[in-house]
Structure 1
């Protein structure tokens, strides 16, 4: 007896589980802003209905009744009820939930003046509208309702950071060719022009008799060498030294140069006093 009762309950549960939700009285209405009802259609669930067209300010209303596929036809509220808008041309889709009351009455509105964000971007191609029902205790169902023509979407303004984070062109580095040395004849002519005035100066000084009796004395020679070191430092700076290095080396040379210069001046003064 207990076994037969359990079997009856299992069969009843299986029947409920296998029961399919029935959709009755599916109806779609298109109304325009300030123009009343423009079109009313009763939909067929066995085959796709004729395509519908919405204007920029039109509103689509879809109503239907959901009942259990049993003789009593009790209203049922599925766990999930939504419409799928699919653009076959672009592959984009949008999902819109449908409000269903506890008694199974369903209602959906689509106002093109304020389209929902989930509506996919549209072009001239129609959107395929499907009704999908999902339930834990009933068999899920999907119905192809109709094709819907809606106004084409406007161009979406690019995000301010879109160009910054978009792929950038490859960075290429252009390196200048190394500086070419001038031909040897040109270098020789330039060197000759640089040293020519010095050759002329030395030649002229050789013709003038300038007595320098104390130039190589022990009191004057250090000062002369230090002055030559300063000249060499300037040449070195011109070739490759930095200004900071020149100032450092110049400060070091300045100390002995001052003392050597004072000593040379005193020696020159004594030499001039003795000559008189």
Structure 2
């Protein structure tokens, strides 16, 4: 009996159909070789039927590996790298569940060749490879882009062209343009099918492109003045020379745009001031409107951060993103900054955030003086004297066990009463050693109830015994 497998989206499995039943088996995870368990199934000709029994055991496990989605079943996870005994045990279980014999045919495996697509001048195309389970190129397969979702917004994206074109040797490609996808990351679902088999790929790709910076204006102004249009404008990678005092401000404005002038906001947009003395300060630049960025540095508020260090500072613009092909550090200007001197006696050396910290000296509190040993022992003896006096008084009174019941319920009540008294004394000892007041009171209430009931019974027994003895005497 020959079994043919096809992927169905409803079940999440490669469904194998025969003349008797519908069965399920996950896709192999590697195009170079079949997993251990599937090779054993092929050799021993064990069928995958009775889907109701096997389906709970074959729930696929998902894992992401270099841009492709691997689908592994529980059988494969149990047998990959395991001992032959474990493999045979799983096979025996399958034989008991299924029974019979069959030859299994592999499905289609879709793998991503290009993990990123460039929208630059040398634009690349999205390429995938489609192979059968034994690693050979799949002949005459139909490959299409089923769905595209933006990772940032998780919203669907429409693509004008969705069919891949074959370029030979089991590889297929799809051309993308800036009108279809913009810079960012996208989740793709790619389906492949041939005459007998089907396969799919869920993956994430990065769409990259070079970005452009324009309308760059930098300058020093007084108060809230506006930058002059002519003197402050810079071309890309151009550097200017500026000078300022602590009473002035540095203003920077520029625009960032993607391909065809589209709006793009990089992940990292920063301005760095680097002084000759080693002082460094970094400032985040936020977007004002659309793709425009502005930053104003008030040197009056930066005197302390710059450690009162006058001199020449390098002004660097840093723009970067993981989908940018031309992330850069651009030296905008050389700034001669005049700052007031610091307080007398203050250190002019720059403070390093990651250098060694000053040593902290600390003296622990001296232990309190303890009394002499002989005084402590004398206090202990005085504490034990009342206990000794208690036992001496018992002997003087002639305490005995003549009235102790000989058996039955009165004997049990006497044992419970004296046991309760002993437990309370032990509780007092534990309170002195480790317990707190609240815990001691809770346990004391419980022990008090346990002591009360047998105490009442034994006292009633003694009262009745005393009355009986008086009646006999009279």
Q: TM-score, normalised by structure 1?
A: 0.47
Q: Which has the larger radius of gyration?
A: 1
Q: Which structure shows the higher helix fraction?
A: 1
Q: Which structure shows the higher strand fraction?
A: 2
Which of structures 1 and 2 has the larger relative contact order (alpha carbons within 8 angstroms, sep 6+)? 1
